[in-house]
Amino acid sequence: MDEVIRKRICFYGGVQGVGFRWRAKCAANAVNATGWVRNEYDGSVTMEIQGTEAQIDRVVQAIGKGLYVRVERTEEKRIPTDPDERDFRTR
């Protein structure tokens, strides 16, 4: 079985007001990943996502396929998992 990990990923570019958080939630639910996503005051979007590396990659790829989403760069950091988390939320 693949290792479950957690990442904090910050997305920059045209990422607010384009359905980014909705797409992230749908993609995470489709692969059974957990975590949350929120808009930041600087126009970026932060996501903490927990699952296997493959699940996380699939979610990020799905987000990038959004019609109006324009990710110019990301910052990614591996962080401790949350064993009590059960779903993916929009904050």
Catalytic annotation on 39? yes
Catalytic residue selected from 8, 38, 39, 89: 39
| Structural element, H or E, at residue 30 | helix 20-30
Alpha carbon separation from 7 to 17, 79, 82 (Å, rounded): 23, 6, 11
Residue type, 42: D
Tokens of 34: 């957990």
Catalytic residue selected from 21, 58, 78, 86: 21
Catalytic annotation on 21? yes
Catalytic residues: 21, 39
